[in-house]
Amino acid sequence: MINNKSSATGDYVPEKPSLKAGLLALKQKNYPQAIAHLEIISQQEPLKQKLKAKMGLIVAYEQTKQIDKAITLCRNLTKISNDEIQTFAHRHLQELLKKYPPKNPKKSSISAPKPPPLPPPHQQQKIQTGFVPFNPTSEQNASAKNNQKQSQKNINLSNINNSVKNSNQPSDFVEHPQSNQNDIDTEKNQTQPLSTEINNSNSKPSNQPHKKSTDIAKDISDRSSKIIWREAGRAKGGRQLKSPNLTLFWLEKIVIGASLYWLSLTILKLTLDITNDFLVWMPYFRPIQIFYRDPTRNFIIFLTVLFVFSPWLIDGLLILGYGLQNLPTTTLINYSKEANKLLRSFCQKRKIQKIKLKILPIDVPIAFSYGWLPRFFRIVVSQGLLDKLAEDEIATIYAREISHVKNGDFWLMSIATLILQIPYTIYWQLTFWADWVLDFVECGLPDFLPEFIKSCLPILVSGFRVFAAIISTLSYGLYWLLKFPILWLSRRRVYYSDRLACNLTGNPNGLTRSILKITIEMANDIQNQGKVRNLLESFELLMPVGINQAITVGSVCSHSNFESIFNWDIVNPYSHWLAINDSHPLLGKRLKILSLYANFWQLETELNLENLNANAIEKNQLSKNQKEKYLTTPSFNLQKLLLQGAPFFGMLIGLLFAGLFWLIGGISSTVGLWRLDWLWGDISILVGSLAIGFSIGIFIRINHFFPDIKPAKILQHPNLLELLTAPETLPLDSQPIQLKGQLLGKSGISNLLGQDLILQTTEGLIKLHYSSQLGPIGNLWPALTNSDYLVGKSITVTGWWRRGAIPWIDINNLKADNGQIINNGHPVWSTIVACIFSVWGVYMIYVGRF
């Protein structure tokens, strides 16, 4: 029933009516004052201000039960030629008509304008099931409901500025506001708090014309701000998801911890042996005698010290390197009261006085946690996360972090992350100082220095840079090698933390939105910074989303709906195997599970992942042949998978042969055949067989992986979305491709291996793999051309498209605008590496040592 009331403004008449004052009153729930301001603004101000005021009035009228006025305004706004304003009006109009049905159906039978397509009817029902965490009393339940309503209201209000941004321009006009990478761009997020909107409410509209595609970063970033979220609801009380059995998870943690310990100790022993062998080979040097001793005992003591002091050591690293600060509880409450309630309840149950909250002063939204006991537990978030996520979404992120304590994985991940920081810190510190001293010398030496020093200093700097290049490259390789055993645990724990976070908040849709927003903003940060931040790379294992998986997915979200983007993740039968080298599970599969959690509570889902192929066909307007390809369920081809992973399966076959030789040696020893008993337990046979199997796998795969690039087969500037959503593609398919864009990445020595090269096109970001034709020597030798000097410039990339868990392009050549071409040596060096491993394996088996 529609309940009408007269205007609630009373006798209050503002002296200086303003949009800012009206929105502020609306935020403070002073609805009469808000209506007094906004009604005047909606009649007097320019069109942009009018629309903002009318959208605010809809909310104020609803809260003061002036439903007819709210419905009238909604119907008026549906006629505005702006898609976002129409969506806002349609959504509110449907909610009002459903919540307040008309008294007389005949008089109120005028149908609302046809809204955009909605989810299936079974997903539109608002079922009063689910639960409210930590609130057993009815009073607390009511408080939770009010918090939820306020959060939803803030989300809707936060769309006002963004929706009317281009309302006085044609609907297909794209505006590109100026951005500052050092400031938090509050206009990039649809769900920012109302306080942020108030601060921006008096900003002047931009009248800039449509910009060319040369400013790619601003173009993509601006389009990503136009994403319209479904704002699906949350559970309100009742059932919980069944708690998983963590027995297997604990066994996995034990195995992974032992693997990390063994790998670290083995690398330490090899390093000490190689160092002494090198000193013996060098003239005038003697080996270090202490390096000949068994380092196991000292290594265990070292790990114990790291483990005990890990919270404070990570604190110090983050303070010195990234500006870590304490986050006051009052500040968190201003952004998310629900998150503060979660933390208080957690502390009460764990009998902890307080969790230490930290904040990083960066605008990219990230969060992670570390410690080794609940009382020493820390949760770190960035300022960007607080600014760009809604209140309920912030709470889901905090729920994910405290779930790591209950799941018991935070202590192992903390010590593993701290171990990884050792080689990574050496890498980025050496590269920083090596580039700094070069800049210092090139900028000109002080006049007071003697000429002898001036002449010698460039030579010393060159020597230091060579040393820094070698050590930093080895350190970065060591970082990735030590990271490998942790990847399995890093992926597994994400599923457990997501599940428990949904149980704690009853908000799987809020967690879905937060994950997607973090992914999008990570990609935007790469475009703004022109590279991947060291923080995002070094602490990737602890974050909600991996930086590598965010590069392409986060940058193309503005060009397609999310469902079509995640088509490959869910449909491809090989996707699980191809994610084995990733730090996080596939986003598509992860979000599909969150949708199932929403179905458990009979909620509308934020993403419709039930019929992905149909969504991709409708969105991308595919041809008849392409439709048949999408509608056909991909079949699992074991031969194709074996060929894709030939080097790794070759290692497995080598392991089987080594086991067979050991068995022969054991049997020979038992029956007295002393000529063969040496085979039993010979480590050189094991390692040599692994190396030979790896090399044979490379030889088998190399022709399929790097086919000849013929001009007739090259895809010239293809549609990136079609490449991403093709359901059956594998990296092995090796589609020749040519794209033009801007080259992003680190510069100087920090990118000698070409590990941080990204192509920025008008459609999104793509990871690039590059290797000099002379291999590592070509990267280290400064006189030889490499890709470093092209960073930040426009280039044309020709290479092989790889669709894996993380899409990338293996470069064949890079062509600059001035016509210079840099060729890639990946195929040649893959062959050389295979030969080296083959010879090394045979040598180890022959001499009986490695």
What is the model's pTM?
Answer: 0.72
pLDDT at position 779: 59
Contacts of 171 (CB under 8 A, 6+ apart): 81, 82, 83
Instruction: Return d(Cα 196, Cα 193) in angstroms, integer.
Output: 6
**Is the predicted pLDDT of residue 103 greater than 70, yes or no?**
no
pLDDT band per the 50, 70, 90 thresholds, residue 335: very high
Which residue has tokens 């290479």? 799
Q: Which DSSP string corresponds to 832-845?
A: HHHHHHHHHHHHHH
The mean pLDDT of the chain is 79
> Are the C-beta atoms of 164 and 52 separated by less than 8 Å?
yes
**What angle is formed at CA 176 by the lines to CA 186 and CA 796, rounded to 5 degrees?**
115
pLDDT at position 395: 96
| Residues 743-766: tens digit of each pLDDT | 999 888 888 888 889 999 988 999
Q: What b/e readout covers 414-435, taking b as 16+ CB neighbours within 10 angstroms?
A: bbbbbbbbebbbbbbebbbebb
**What angle is formed at CA 693 by the lines to CA 689 and CA 698, rounded to 5 degrees?**
150
Q: Which residue has the higher pLDDT, 65 or 378?
A: 378
808-816/794-802 β-pairing: antiparallel
Q: Which of 112-121, 200-209, 312-321 is modeled with the greatest confidence?
A: 312-321
Instruction: Return d(Cα 475, Cα 425) in angstroms, integer.
Output: 9
**What angle is formed at CA 718 by the lines to CA 715 and CA 722, rounded to 5 degrees?**
120
Radius of gyration from C-alpha coordinates of the chain: 30
Instruction: Return d(Cα 477, Cα 286) in angstroms, integer.
Output: 28
pLDDT at position 559: 55
Q: Measuring CA to CA, how many Å separate 136 from each of 309, 598, 603?
A: 38, 22, 22
- Torsion of the alpha carbons at 176, 180, 189 and 113, rounded to the nearest 10: -20
pLDDT band per the 50, 70, 90 thresholds, residue 773: confident
What is the distance, to the nearest Å, from the Cα of residue 781 to the centroid of all Cα atoms in its chain? 34
Mean pLDDT within 178-206: 33
CA-closest candidate to residue 70, choices 83, 55, 85: 55
pLDDT at position 625: 52
Tell me which of 428-432, 516-520, 718-722 is least confident.
718-722
pLDDT at position 783: 45
Burial class of residue 786, CB neighbours in 10 A (0-12, 13-18, 19+):
buried
Mean pLDDT within 684-711: 90
337-350 vs 391-407: helix crossing angle, rounded to 10: 20
Instruction: Return d(Cα 163, Cα 541) in angstroms, integer.
Output: 36
